[in-house]
Structure 1
Amino acid sequence: MASLHTVVSDMTSTFNKQMEDFRKQLQGISTTTKDPSAKLATEFESFRLFVLDSLQALQSQVSALMNISDDQEMRSRHKMVLFHGIAEDDNNNPIGEVLQIVSKKLHLPNINEEAISRCQRLGKKLTGSKARPIIVKFRDMQVKENIWKAKTNLKASGVTVSEFLTKRRHSIFLQARKQFGLNNCWTKNGAIYILDSAGKRHRITCENDLHDVTPVDVSTGPEINKSNPGPSEDHDAGVTTRPKRINSKAKR
């Protein structure tokens, strides 16, 4: 879907360039001949505007479809979180590692293996690379919410918990952090929030929304009220590639 959006954008740019070149040629002919061909020039302009309107309508439809697809994909991830910073070796048991963190660091001992429907390392292991994040899907949304609320207990532990954002939202979130600072951006249930220079919260749905918000001076600007943060903060939103299907030996 994203590639189709790019194709339409490229088509529009190419069309504009070719039409502009043709219009210059037409104007040159009109000024060097006794008959300026005014009718041809008028018809050309009408055709140009028609094609541009058609391309803009197509672009809008593609954008709408992209939003629908992205929303559906994010809904399928609502019960998922990513655990970052858990060391791995060949003998690691991802479920066991996660449950140990949940019990000892998040102080949620009642969450057991039965609460997890999927648990695996994300991506391909590379020699010398840092530990891959662990993607965890819970059977019940409330369990995921309990994990999310308790993740502040992980401070200074080296382990973080983030939402499993789609590629599009992950890209927007990274751009938001670059513009507004780490402490003024967070996510909750797949939605991206930012704090502007006046301390007002904004929900971001596309990259263009970022241009409508006044950035915070990250050295002096407001930070999220830690005692009443509203949506839970996620300063470490996770990688976005879709996980490979788990084989029959993996925990479901």
Structure 2
Amino acid sequence: MSTITEMSPEMAQLFQMMKTELHQQTATITNAVTESIIHKIDEKLQTIVEENKYLKNEVQRLVQKVKYLDGQNRKNNLVLHGIKETENNPQELFDLIKETINFLDIDINIYETNSYKRIGKRQGGNKIRPILVSFTSFQKKLKILKNKTKMPKPTYITEDFSKETMEMRKNLQEKLKEEKLNGKDAFILNNKIIIKDTTDAEKRKREASISPNNTNVYSPTGGSNNVSAPPKLHKTNAFEYMRARSVSSTAKPPQKHNA
């Protein structure tokens, strides 16, 4: 019985060619299947990446919206600090608020507030909880805030900011202190440090002192410090001129009568 080892050279060569071709076909099929799978995975991943990108943008939009709504909700709020907790009911608490704000020469009525309460849980010792007051009018809140320096110590007034804004303003205050130490005229506005350009301001001031009205003035007497303006030109009113021409052209000449 013949075996593979007993194959003729022609058969052995044919067998080797078939084996090689089979390997090549297997590799081709494997690569094609692999590429197809990778392509499908890439498509699914691309879809997931796009969805993830959309969701991130949506989350950022919602976060900004929440921040805006939170800011609007705190817009008319003020926080009173250092007022001893001697009240036993809401009416007594409002009387304390009213008495404190009276130091600013400002009177408030209960209908000018939306709500008022102590912030946090009652604690022992000398810990005094601040009072959060929400006003019905932003103008009322602004008026109180402008006069906050009249508050007797140790009481004081602050605006109602979120923890994130308070941390941001804390960092801004440190930066503001550095700017002022460097001799710059700076202040905080809308959670940003604004630095005035004192050079331009002084330049405008000097220019204004040279020409107070910033206009050219005509002086009949002249002088080295005066700037002469050209005299007014006598302009002809075109409409009056055309009207006069029209009347003169339509006027009939007087007729002669024969004797």
Query: Could you tell me the TM-score, scaled by structure 2's length?
Result: 0.50
Corresponding residue number in structure 2 for 1:242: none
Cα distance in 1, alignment partners of residues 189 and 59 from structure 2: 33
User: Which among 34, 42, 45 is matched to residue 42 of structure 2?
Assistant: 45
Cα distance in 2, alignment partners of residues 55 and 231 from structure 1: 32
Letter in 1 for 2:119: L
Letter in 2 for 1:184: L
Is residue 173 of structure 1 aligned with residue 135 of structure 2?
no
Corresponding residue number in structure 2 for 1:107: 105
Q: Deviations over 1:22-70 (max 9, x none)?
A: xxxxxxxxxxx95452332233233223212211201211221232233
Corresponding residue number in structure 1 for 2:64: 67
Structure 1 90/79 Cα, relative in aligned 2: closer, same or farther at 3 Å?
A: closer
Structure of larger gyration radius: 2
Letter in 2 for 1:148: L
Letter in 2 for 1:158: P
- CA drift at 1:221: 8.0
User: Aligned ranges for residues 1-252 of structure 1 at < 5 Å?
Assistant: 35-36=30-31, 37-89=34-86, 93-104=92-103, 106-108=104-106, 110-128=107-125, 130-154=127-151, 157-165=153-161, 167=162, 170-178=163-171, 180-182=172-174, 184=176, 220=182, 222=184, 224-225=186-187
Contact 2:82/2:130 (<8 A) preserved: yes
Cα distance in 2, alignment partners of residues 121 and 72 from structure 1: 22
Contact 1:149/1:232 (<8 A) preserved: no
Letter in 1 for 2:127: K
Greater RCO, CA 8 A, separation 6+? 1
Cα distance in 2, alignment partners of residues 161 and 221 from structure 1: 28
Contact 1:80/1:138 (<8 A) preserved: yes
- CA drift at 1:74: 2.8
May I ask how many residue pairs the two structures share in their alignment? 161
Corresponding residue number in structure 2 for 1:210: none
| Unmatched tracts of structure 2, length 5 or more | 1-25, 193-259
- Measured on the aligned residues, the alpha-carbon RMSD in Å equals 3.5
Cα distance in 2, alignment partners of residues 218 and 147 from structure 1: 27
| Unmatched tracts of structure 1, length 5 or more | 1-32, 186-215, 234-252
Percent identity of the aligned residues?
20
The structure with the largest helix share of the pair is: 2
Q: Deviations over 1:152-200 (max 9, x none)?
A: 334x8232322223x4xx314314523x334639xxxxxxxxxxxxxxx
Helix, strand or coil at the partner of 2:71? helix
